[in-house]
Amino acid sequence: MTEPRFVPLPPRHDPGIAPEEALRAFHETLRTRRSVRMFSDRSVSREVIEGIVTCAATAPSGANKQPWRFVCVSDPATKRQIRLAAEEEERAFYKRRANDEWLRDLAPLGTDEDKSYLEIAPWLVVVFKQVRTESGGQIYYADESVGISVGMFLVAAHVAGLVTLTHTPSPMKFLADLLGRPANERAFVLLPIGYPSDDCEVPEHALTRKPLDEIADFR
Ligand code: IYR
């Protein structure tokens, strides 16, 4: 057993404004984040992607196992392979796998099996979750942990002026195969990241957010 050791909580940088004001500003930042499917091919440096992954890796995780792995792909040939494999899965999804309710729910988003953005975006960040450690040890709350880190990734990308999409081609097994990932990892989400195209549009439908009284219950 490792004995616990504690250090004082480091002092936080003082925002210098009231929490209400800080939250109004932060909400304004978050509110303008959108899922984007129309990317520019404008390049993004590896350093910027590293900075975003470094932010995502500040997430809490079960027993601090940090079970996220970020595979960052800019190689055009690999992006093409991912696009072709994803489109194959999506064709099956739109033709057969999705039921009528799912297709009705997706209709206002205008999505289809064309995933050309997977080749146009300068980077595809494929997030894997570990279900076991490299040495076969246990992982706790893998979905929660990796989900939180992906949320932080999205916010970091937005703060950096970039756009992302949380893309989940289903099933995603092809990603582990294609990227040669070890047996203890499962694909979690595929995040194209870059700048929006000049003519970028986003679905109006996804603009709305439920009011606070519908999503929060104060006792
Ligand atoms: N993976 C498909 C379908 C899709 C599913 C959901 I749930 C969305 O919110 C959006 C799309 C696709 O990417 O087209």
Ligand 1: distance of its center to the CA of 43 in Å?
26
Rounded to two decimals, the pTM is 0.96
Residue whose Cα lies nearest atom 9 of ligand 1: it is 106
Q: What is the DSSP string of 206-219?
A: GG----HHHH----
Give the pair of three-digit tokens for residue 197: 């195209």
Residue pLDDT, tens place only, 65-75: 999 999 999 99
Q: Which residue has the tokens 């997706």?
A: 106
Q: 134-155 in b/e burial notation, b at 16+ Cβ within 10 A?
A: eeeeebeebeebbbbbbebbbb
- Hey, what domains does the chain have and what are their CATH numbers? 38-195 (3.40.109.10)
> What percent of the chain lies above the pLDDT cut of 90?
93
The answer, yes or no, to whether any atom of ligand 1 lies below 6 A from the CB of 106, is yes
β-pairing verdict for 123-130 and 163-164: unpaired
Give the pair of three-digit tokens for residue 93: 């999804």
| CA R_g for the chain | 19
Exposure of 19 in the CB half-sphere (CA atoms within 13 A): 0
Identify the pLDDT of residue 24: 96
The residue-averaged pLDDT of 78-89 equals 97
Q: Which residue has the tokens 């999506």?
A: 90
Nearest atom in ligand 1 to the alpha carbon of residue 111 is: 14
Identify the pLDDT of residue 201: 97
Question: Is residue 171 pLDDT above 90, yes or no?
Answer: no
Which band of pLDDT confidence, cut at 50, 70 and 90, is reported for residue 12?
confident
The answer, yes or no, to whether any atom of ligand 1 lies below 6 A from the CB of 168, is yes
The three-state secondary structure class of 69 is strand
Identify the pLDDT of residue 71: 98
